[in-house]
Structure 1
Amino acid sequence: TVVIRLRKPWNAAVHVFFAQADFVYGILPKHAFPDTKVVGSAWESAPFGTGPFRVKTWLRGDRIVLEANPYYRPKPKLSQIVFQIVPNLNSNFVALRSGAADIGALTAENVSQAQGVPGVRVERFPENATRLLYLNTQRSPTGDPRVRHAIADALDYDALANAWRNQFPPAASFLPPPIVRWKAAAIAPYRHDPDAARRELDAAGWRLRNGVRVKGGVPFGGLIGVNSEDPINVRIATLVQAQLAAAGMPLTIKANPTRIWFSPEGLLRNGKGTIIGETWVGGGDPEQSLNLRCVEAIRGGDNHSFYCSPRFEALFDDQSRTPSQAQRDRDFNAIAQLVHDDAPVIPLYYESRLMGVSNRVSGYRLNMLWLPVNAEMWDAR
C-alpha cells in the first residue's frame, strides 16, 4: 500500500501520480532492490512488473524481446513482441515495405508512400501534444508584445502547413488538443494579416528602411533556434525565416544537434534564441500542459518563452486548488485567452502519431502519450 499525503489541495494529483504521462510514477518491487538505488541496478537490464509482457532479452543497441507474462489475465494473445532498434524513421518505412516489420512509426514525408504499400495500413493516433513557436519574451525584439503579435500576423499558416505536409490539424490554443476531459472555449487562431503586422511594427517603433525594420538605428534581428535532426523543425524554421524577412523582420537560423538541443546549453533552453520551434507534450491533466510558469522561466527550464505573468500564476494557483470543476474549467479558459493575448507562443498544429501497421496485425492501439493500450489484445495472424 502506498499512501500519499498532500500539504495543500492539488486537483491534478490523481492524474499526475496515477495516469500515464511522459513522467511515470511507478511502484517498484521491493525484493528486486537491495537498497534504494535504482540507477545501475540489475532490474534496469531486466525490468518486470504486473503488465501483460515482461522482458525476455535485451540486446542493447539491437533489440528488446518481450514474452507474455504467464500470470497476467486475460492471457495475452501474442507469445512475444520484438522491438527491433533501427537507425532512423526511414528505416522503419523500409522494414515495413519489405515485410521485415509488422509495425513502424512513419513520418509526414513517407506516410503517403506507406498508404500505397500492399498489406500495410496507416493508423493515426492523436497525441496530447502541440507544435509551437516559442517567442522569447525576455529579449529584444520579441520582448515587446506588439512585435510578437506582428510576427503572428506576418506568418502565412497555410504555407507553413507544407512543412508538415498538411498531415496534422491546425492548433488554435497552446493548451491540449480536444482529446482530454477538459474542452477549451473557442479561441480564434492567429490569422495571416500582413496589414496588421505592419501596423503593430509601426506602433512599436520599428520603421521600414530599405526593406528592413529599424528602431533607434538598430535593425531588426535575432536567432531562430532549430533542432537539426528534426526535419519538420528545420522546414518550419526555413519557412518562418523567409516569411518574416519578407515582412522586414530578418532572422538567422542556428541549428543544434539533438544532444545539445535538449540540454541546458542548447537553444531550446538557454534563452539565447528569439524564436524556438518545438512540441510540448502534456499529460493526463491539463495542468501538465502549462509550461509557461515563472518558476520554469530559467536557463535549462521548460518555459522556452521565458514568459512570466502574475495573472497566469494567479489562474494557475486557482485551478490547482479550487473545489469547483466548473471554476477550474474557467481558469483554464482564461489562461488560454491570456496566452493568446500576450502571444508568448504561436500554436501551429496538434500532433498525431503516424504508424504503419501490417494488415495481419489486429487490436493495435496507442494512447495520447504513445503508450500501448490493451497490449494483451494485440494479435498477428
Structure 2
Amino acid sequence: MTAKFPLTRRAALGGASALAGMSALAQTGQRAAAQTAQPKKGGTLTFIQNSEPQTLVALTTVATPALTVSAKVTEGLLEYDYDINPRPALAIEWTISPDGKRYAFKLRPNVKFHDGKPFTSADVAYSIQLLKTVHPRGRNTFANVTEVKTPDPLTAIIELSKPAPYLIKALTAAEAPMMPRHIYEGTDPLANQNGNAPIGTGPYRFKEWARGSHIVYERNPDYWQPDLPRVDRIVFKILPDTGARSIAFENGSGDLGYRTPVALADLDRLKKVPHLVFETKGTSYSYNVSCLQFNLDSQYFKHLKVRQAVAHAIDRALLIKTVAYGYGTVCYSPIAPGLKAFHDPTPSPYKLDLKKAESLLDEAGFPRGDNKIRFKVPLDYNPIGDESRRASEFLRAALGRIGIGVEVRAQDSSAFVKRIYTDRAFDFTYNGHSNLFDPTVGVQRIYWSKNFKKGVPFSNGSHYENPKVDALLEGAAVEIDPAKRKEMFFEFQRIVAQEIPDVPLYSPLYLTIKNKRVHDESLTADGVEANLAQVWLDA
C-alpha cells in the first residue's frame, strides 16, 4: 500500500495554564504572519544556544544542544507537517507493505554530500544499522530491522521481522540522520571526527566551532534544492548565562532560540519588547516529561518505601506555579498529556501526604537522627534547561520536610551525562525525557531493561527491570491494532506508577522566541530542530 499520507492527529497540550498562554501566543504569531512579505536572501541568522553540544551530529545522543545544530548539515529521509504527516526530504516516494514489515523508499536523485560524494541507498542502509546500534532511541526504533536492501543506488528497502507502526514517523533529520558511509565505515562512531566537523547533505556546511563561544554554518551552494537556503550563514552563539540570553534578545544581537531559551521569570518583561515574537509552532513532534529519576542501585532508592515517601512529599501544582511560572501541565505518567492517544491521566497513587512519607521512611529503616536528618544524598540535575536548578532547589526543600538532606549538585552537560549514564555515580537526578510522537520511540528507552546500556545517554538511567513491563513495551512496539496497543501502554503506566523508578512531575510548555525580522523558521512538526533551509531575514 502507498503510505505517503498516513492518518495521524494533532497532539494537544493539556492544562488550563498552558491553554491560556497559548491564546496570547497564537495572537502574537498571527500578527507576525500577517506582516510576512516576499522571502529575501542573504544575511546572518544568530541562534541563541543555551549550552554547548557534545557533538554536532545527532547520531549518538538525543541531547537538545545536539538536536538544535544537527539537521542543518545532516538530513533525514522525511520531514513532517504539524500533524505528523510525512513529506519528502531525501526520500521522494515511499510504500509500506500490507503486513507492515517492508518499507520501500525512492531516494532523491543527484544529492551530494558536502565533500562531493553522492548520497545513495548504501548510505541509507549503513545509517539505519548504525542508528540501531549507537543511537539512544534507535535501539527501540529500529529494533525489528533485519536488513536494508539496496537493489539500486536510489532504492532502499527496510525489511522488518515484526511490524513497527511508528517507524514512518521516526525519520526526521534530528531523529534519524542519514550519515555518510564513506566517512564512518571502519571507525568507532562515538569517536569519529565527523561529530566535530560534520559532512552531510544539508543546506548548510560546517565552517567552524570555537568551543565555548560559537558554531558557524555557511550556505551550501550545491544544495539539492537550488533556491535554498535563503540565509548566508547561521551562527549558534553559546550563552550558558540566562541573563546574557535575555539581553541578547532584547538588544537584537540574538535572532532565534527555542525551548524557552530565557529564564521563565523574564518572560513577562520580554513580551513587552516590540521586536520580539513568541510562538509555540513546531513543537508537535516532541512532548517532554520532567521527572525525578532514581538510581535503583542506590543504597537509599533501591527501597520502594523510600521512593514512595519521596513521591508523597512533592506538590506538583506548587512546583509548576513557583518553578515553571505556570508554563506546564501536571503529569503523573511517563507518557506526556500531549500524546492523548496513549496518556493515562489517572493521578499518582502517592498523593501529597507528609505524614505518610514520614511513616514509610521509618518503616524502611531510616529514622530521623539527632539532627532530624534521616540521610543525606546528592541530587544531580540535567543542566539543559534553566528551570532545572530551580526545580532541584524546590525538591531539596520538599524532601527536607521529611528528613532527607539534599545537596543540589551542578555540572555541565558533558559531566552530567558521564555521571548518570557512564559512571552511574549518582543517587537521583532531576531530568527530562522527550516522548516524541510515540511512546515506543520516546518512552520505551527509559524503562526497557534491554536498554540499560552504560555510556548511552538518556537510556535506562534508573536500571529499571520488570519482565512484565518489558513484555508490554515490546508488544506495543509491534501491535498494529490501535485499541490493543493503547491498553498495553495503559497497563505499563499502571505498573510504573506503583513501582516508581521515577516520579513524573509535569509536562513543560516550550516557547520559541525570535526577532520579528525572522520568518519561516518553524514550518514543520519539529520546528527549528529541522534544517532551517527556508528561514529568511528582513534587512
The TM-score bracket by the shorter chain reads 0.7 to 0.9
The question of 1:26 aligning with 2:185 is answered no
Which one-letter code corresponds to 1:340 in the other structure? A
Corresponding residue number in structure 2 for 1:112:
268
Instruction: Determine helix, strand or coil for the equivalent of 1:5.
Output: strand
Corresponding residue number in structure 2 for 1:216:
none
Contact 2:231/2:535 (8 A) holds in 1: no
Corresponding residue number in structure 2 for 1:4:
158
1:305 to 426, 447, 462: 462
* Gap regions ≥5 residues in structure 1: 214-218
CA gap of 1:373–1:209, structure 2 versus 1, over 3 A, is closer
Contact 1:141/1:221 (8 A) holds in 2: no
Corresponding residue number in structure 1 for 2:345:
186
User: Offset of 1:208 from its aligned partner?
Assistant: 4.3
* Cα distance in structure 1, aligned partners of 2:291 and 2:514: 29
2:209 to 44, 53, 60: 60
CA gap of 1:45–1:261, structure 2 versus 1, over 3 A, is closer
Which one-letter code corresponds to 2:324 in the other structure? W
1:247 to 378, 392, 402: 402
CA gap of 1:113–1:367, structure 2 versus 1, over 3 A, is farther
Corresponding residue number in structure 2 for 1:196:
356
CA gap of 1:86–1:138, structure 2 versus 1, over 3 A, is closer
Contact 1:363/1:379 (8 A) holds in 2: yes
CA gap of 1:69–1:308, structure 2 versus 1, over 3 A, is same
1:49-198 alignment to 2 at 5 Å?
A: 49=202, 53-55=203-205, 58-61=207-210, 62=214, 63-66=216-219, 71-72=224-225, 75=227, 78-88=230-240, 90=242, 91-105=244-258, 106-107=261-262, 108-124=264-280, 126=283, 127-161=286-320, 162-178=322-338, 180=339, 182-189=341-348, 191-198=351-358
What per-residue deviation string (whole Å, max 9, x for no partner) do you get for residues 90-140 of structure 1? 444323212233323422243333212121122235442221110222323
User: Offset of 1:41 from its aligned partner?
Assistant: 6.3
Which one-letter code corresponds to 1:143 in the other structure? K
User: Offset of 1:271 from its aligned partner?
Assistant: 3.4
* Gap regions ≥5 residues in structure 2: 1-154
Contact 1:111/1:122 (8 A) holds in 2: no
Contact 1:365/1:374 (8 A) holds in 2: no
User: Offset of 1:249 from its aligned partner?
Assistant: 2.0
User: Offset of 1:151 from its aligned partner?
Assistant: 0.6
Query: Aligned-residue CA RMSD in angstroms?
Result: 3.4
* Cα distance in structure 2, aligned partners of 1:268 and 1:157: 26
Q: How many percent of aligned residue pairs carry the same amino acid?
A: 16
Corresponding residue number in structure 1 for 2:414:
259
Corresponding residue number in structure 2 for 1:322:
479
Q: Which moved more, 1:118-127 or 1:240-249?
A: 118-127
CA gap of 1:355–1:349, structure 2 versus 1, over 3 A, is same
* Cα distance in structure 2, aligned partners of 1:182 and 1:146: 32
1:263-302 alignment to 2 at 5 Å?
A: 263=418, 266-267=419-420, 269-288=422-441, 289-290=443-444, 291-301=446-456, 302=459
* Cα distance in structure 2, aligned partners of 1:84 and 1:208: 50
User: Offset of 1:43 from its aligned partner?
Assistant: 12
Corresponding residue number in structure 1 for 2:68:
none
CA gap of 1:338–1:244, structure 2 versus 1, over 3 A, is same
Which one-letter code corresponds to 2:478 in the other structure? R
* Cα distance in structure 1, aligned partners of 2:472 and 2:233: 45
Which one-letter code corresponds to 1:194 in the other structure? L
* Cα distance in structure 1, aligned partners of 2:434 and 2:325: 21
CA gap of 1:362–1:117, structure 2 versus 1, over 3 A, is same
Greater relative contact order, per chain length (Cα 8 Å cut-off, separation 6+): 1
User: Offset of 1:14 from its aligned partner?
Assistant: 3.3
CA gap of 1:25–1:361, structure 2 versus 1, over 3 A, is closer
Contact 1:276/1:304 (8 A) holds in 2: no
CA gap of 1:259–1:79, structure 2 versus 1, over 3 A, is closer
Q: What number of residue pairs does the alignment pair up?
A: 364
Instruction: Determine helix, strand or coil for the equivalent of 1:60.
Output: strand
* TM score, norm. by length of structure 1: 0.81
* Cα distance in structure 1, aligned partners of 2:335 and 2:352: 21
* Cα distance in structure 2, aligned partners of 1:34 and 1:339: 39
Which one-letter code corresponds to 1:187 in the other structure? T
* Cα distance in structure 2, aligned partners of 1:88 and 1:220: 33
What per-residue deviation string (whole Å, max 9, x for no partner) do you get for residues 310-357 of structure 1? 111111121122332211111111111211111111112223433221
Which one-letter code corresponds to 2:427 in the other structure? T
CA gap of 1:198–1:33, structure 2 versus 1, over 3 A, is closer
Corresponding residue number in structure 1 for 2:513:
356
Contact 1:138/1:307 (8 A) holds in 2: no
Q: Which moved more, 1:160-169 or 1:202-211?
A: 202-211
CA gap of 1:114–1:89, structure 2 versus 1, over 3 A, is farther
* Cα distance in structure 1, aligned partners of 2:297 and 2:240: 36
Contact 2:229/2:534 (8 A) holds in 1: yes
Contact 1:224/1:251 (8 A) holds in 2: yes
